[in-house]
């Protein structure tokens, strides 16, 4: 079950190099037209999305893109009253695509101090967090309930660090060489619980409905934002207005229920 390469690329891999290159491009580039004017003139908004990262973005059996971010892109297009052009990006190239004008905005961007030096962010539109997952018969509500339980995790990852800080002394953390090994161990019954991202957990639950896998509690939260080039005040304002409205009218909650199998967090 190969679920996590895009997660690692999205959150960690070569982030520093990509940001340095994007920052250099922004510093060297001449002043650009206002993004809203560019979108209006072209008749479309170009949105950078991952296409290899379910449930946020992937290619379906009909060869059409689908996922949380695909629905979010359509929501943005309606808010801006324009067509949507989805542009496939990777963790390595997406900041460069934004800085170089190949896309107008990016989806699934975690907010960090390093990124804030080169891009701006919308309000959060999707939850991203690490969580403990397990079967329906286990009554697990918090870290104290992990005493006496076995937990699968990928060695040396943020998941490993988070659960190692949280789990009580009586818990047994079983570490595997990679995330797929940890997931396989949990699914085969070698452990009672596993620690993965909510996106990966949603994919596993969708593929294995009979197992009754449940999210028990959260460990670490870093929600997703829309990313823009610096000083795009009008675009940022319009996207934020769309996010506020989508939270208010329940549109984002429907997207969350559809793809993450959980309601949109009230504090998002």
Q: What DSSP designation does 265 have?
A: P
User: Looking at the predicted structure, is the pLDDT value of residue 174 above 60?
Assistant: yes
**171-184: average pLDDT:** 94
pLDDT of 157 reads 87
Q: For residue 45, how many other CB atoms are within 10 A of its CB?
A: 26
Secondary structure letter of residue 57 according to DSSP = B
User: DSSP of 107-158, one letter per residue?
Assistant: EEEE--HHHHTTEEEEEEEE--EEEEEE-TT----SGGGGTT-EEEEETTSH
Q: Higher pLDDT residue, 125 or 14? A: 125
The whole-number pLDDT of residue 32 equals 58
Instruction: Outline where the chain has alpha helix (H).
Output: 5-11, 15-28, 35-42, 68-80, 94-99, 113-116, 158-166, 179-187, 198-207, 233-248, 251-260
Instruction: Look up residue 128 and give its two tokens.
Output: 């991203």
pTM above 0.85, yes or no: no
Q: Is pLDDT at 109 greater than 60 in this prediction?
A: yes
Residues 139, 131: Cα–Cα separation, whole Å: 15
Determine the average pLDDT of the residues in 140-156.
96
Q: What is the pLDDT of residues 185-238, one digit of tens each?
A: 999 999 999 999 999 999 999 999 999 999 999 998 989 999 999 999 999 999
**Mean pLDDT across 256-267:** 93
- Distance CA(268)–CA(257), nearest Å, equals 14
Domains of the chain: 5-127+223-260 (3.40.190.10), 129-221 (3.40.190.10)
CA dist 97 → 119, 142, 247 (Å):
12, 41, 29
pLDDT higher than threshold 80 for residue 31: no
Mean pLDDT of the chain: 89
Residue 26 has pLDDT above 50, yes or no: no
| The predicted structure's pLDDT at residue 15 | 44
**Placement of tokens 């040396």 in the chain:** 156
pLDDT greater than 70 at residue 154: yes
Confidence of residue 1 (pLDDT cuts 50, 70, 90): very low
Lowest model confidence (mean pLDDT) among 74-83, 107-116, 129-138: 107-116
Q: How confident is the model at residue 5 (pLDDT cuts 50, 70, 90)?
A: very low
């Amino acid at each position: 079950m190969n679920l996590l390469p895009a997660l690692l690329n999205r959150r960690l891999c070569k982030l520093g190099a990509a940001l340095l290159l994007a920052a250099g491009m922004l510093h060297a580039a001449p002043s650009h037209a206002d993004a809203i004017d560019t979108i209006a003139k072209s008749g479309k908004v170009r949105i950078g999305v991952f296409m290899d990262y379910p449930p946020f973005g992937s290619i379906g059996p009909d060869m059409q893109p689908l996922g949380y971010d695909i629905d979010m892109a359509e929501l943005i297009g309606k808010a801006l009253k324009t067509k949507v052009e989805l542009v496939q990006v990777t963790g390595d190239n997406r900041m460069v695509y934004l800085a170089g004008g190949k896309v107008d905005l990016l989806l699934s961007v975690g907010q960090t101090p390093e990124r804030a030096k080169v891009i701006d962010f919308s309000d959060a539109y999707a939850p991203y967090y690490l969580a403990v997952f397990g079967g329906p018969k286990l009554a697990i509500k918090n870290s104290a309930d992990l005493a006496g339980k076995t937990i699968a995790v990928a060695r040396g990852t943020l998941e490993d660090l988070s659960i190692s800080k949280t789990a009580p002394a009586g818990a047994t953390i079983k570490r595997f060489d990679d995330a797929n090994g940890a997931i396989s161990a949990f699914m085969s019954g070698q452990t009672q619980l596993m620690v993965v991202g909510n996106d990966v957990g949603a994919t596993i639950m969708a593929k294995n409905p009979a197992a009754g896998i449940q999210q028990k509690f959260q460990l670490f939260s870093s929600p997703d934002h829309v990313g823009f080039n610096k000083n795009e005040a009008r675009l940022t304002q319009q996207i934020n207005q769309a996010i506020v409205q989508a939270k208010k009218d329940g549109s984002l909650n429907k997207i969350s229920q559809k793809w993450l199998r959980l309601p949109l967090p009230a504090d998002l």
